[in-house]
Amino acid sequence: MRCTKRTTLVLLCLSQLSSSFTVPVITSRRAVTTPLNVATDPTTNESDTTSASETSSNSSGDKWWQSHTLSHSELATSVRSDFEILSTVFTDDDDDDDDSTAKALIYLDSAATSQKPKQVLDALRDYYTTSNANVHRGAHALSRRATEQYEAARDTARKFVNARSRNEIVFTSGATEAINLVASTLGRKLKAGDEIVVSVMEHHSNIVPWQIVAKDTGAVVKFVPVNEEGELDREVLEGLICPRTKVVSLQHVSNVMGCVNDVDGITRLVRERAHPDVKILLDACQSCPHMPVDVQSLGVDFLAASGHKMCGPTGIGFLWGREEVLNSLEPFMGGGEMIDEVTTEGSTYAKSPARFEAGTPPIAQAIGMARALEYLMDIGMDKIHDNEKELGAYLYNRLSEVEGVTILGPTDVNKRTAIASFVCDGVHPSDLSTFLDMDGVAIRAGHHCCQPLHKALGYSHSARASLYFYNTKQDVDVFIEKLEETLAFFRNMEV
């Protein structure tokens, strides 16, 4: 039954492949296997490098990865039981009683959204069953209890990013709203000729709001390209930053290429060359869940974070901003809670964070996110980072050995996080992900809300495998096994 499904899907895929997707062959950017935790020598050419097939076996004939061990593997083992969904087993629709068709879930899509531990689910249930009420506006016991938990969540977020004051944490519906909040309020201060600098690697949520602002004000959006190594082009950035630069808004970590931008170096450059009142925003959606982030040491003015990518519920995130900067901005939305006084002649506004939290806030979501942040801090962000650095390098090295695969982004594993976007010769990413799903492997396919970046790299779409601390070496091994089987299946269908 499974073969019949595969054959039908392949015939459909191949019939549309030539018109829907073209994979250019870029051998100069083909990933080369490097020893784990060892940087790639940028002066080494592929022609001087031993091929993966020649080095992938030891003297006994075993593949290197079969005996390879990870020094931080105990972390995933210790937390897996907290994530009930990771024990999911899929069966074919027509063979529910046939154990031979069972496929265990291999979840490699945490860059899109993370799974939620039972501690977070319990916190949400506890709130709704013991404390559900609107906050700030009631003297009754439930309202007081809800308010205490909601404001305690703000304290937890402050601690998580080491903010100076709890007043610097503004709850939003997610990072997209946080960026739009900054763009909208800063945009009111911009004029024609002012410049906004972003990069081509940005998520659409860090491009479109600035384009809207530019259209409304006459400001100009300038883009920093990526270089041949798949990193932010520092030389072009240096040329773009000038006294007309009023806003710089960049990702901390690319959600496609997994590269970590040099925030310290960028902020120093911006402060030296841009307008004295320049504001810097950091999209930290792919950094806050995976590494220690200290806003007091980053040198930026704003940071946007997403709750659902770090074990929290959907519909919640936060904006961190310097308190004095937040209080210098006009409100993002008007309504209840954000006011100081309202009269028929006009209104005055509360200070941050209330100024930016009009209406009934996402109370349960904030409480759930706070429990997720506590969960991460209990594990230790340094420990999570070390684990993912090692596992991400293993994923890169395994994936780089697969025939016909080109990995996007830096070839130096020390410059990457546990995100690996890739394209495969002759197979559309959506087709690939569909077939992997049949084997229980969940990856992402598409442009990942980064169309300008994909265009710059010469592709329309890519596939993406992304890891979190609950993933294991076995997850990677199964993924690679099923990927190789799927690619071989497509090649055989073309013969």
- Please tell me the distance from the alpha carbon of residue 324 to that of residue 333, in angstroms, as a whole number: 19
Is the separation of the CB atoms in 78 and 336 below 8 Å? Answer: no
CA distances 458 to 14, 26, 137, 207, 408, Å, are: 21, 9, 54, 19, 11
Q: Which residue has the tokens 């630069």?
A: 245
The two tokens of residue 68 are 């390879």
User: Among candidates 387, 417, 369, which has minimal Cα distance to 159?
Assistant: 369
Q: Which helix (H) or strand (E) holds 245?
A: strand 245-251
- Please tell me the distance from the alpha carbon of residue 420 to that of residue 308, in angstroms, as a whole number: 20
The two tokens of residue 223 are 């883009």
- Please tell me the distance from the alpha carbon of residue 491 to that of residue 274, in angstroms, as a whole number: 53
Helix, strand, coil percentages for the chain (3-state, nearest 5): 45, 15, 40
A 10 A CB-CB count for 83 gives 20
Residue 167 CB-half CA count within 13 A: 10
Q: 3-state secondary structure string, 353-412?
A: CHHHCCCCCCHHHHHHHHHHHHHHHHHCHHHHHHHHHHHHHHHHHHHHCCCCEEECCCCC
CA distances 5 to 175, 196, 480, Å, are: 39, 50, 21
Q: Which residues are catalytic?
A: 449
Is the separation of the CB atoms in 278 and 341 below 8 Å? Answer: no
CA distances 7 to 3, 4, 373, Å, are: 6, 5, 45
26 contacts: CB under 8 Å, gap ≥ 6: 406, 458
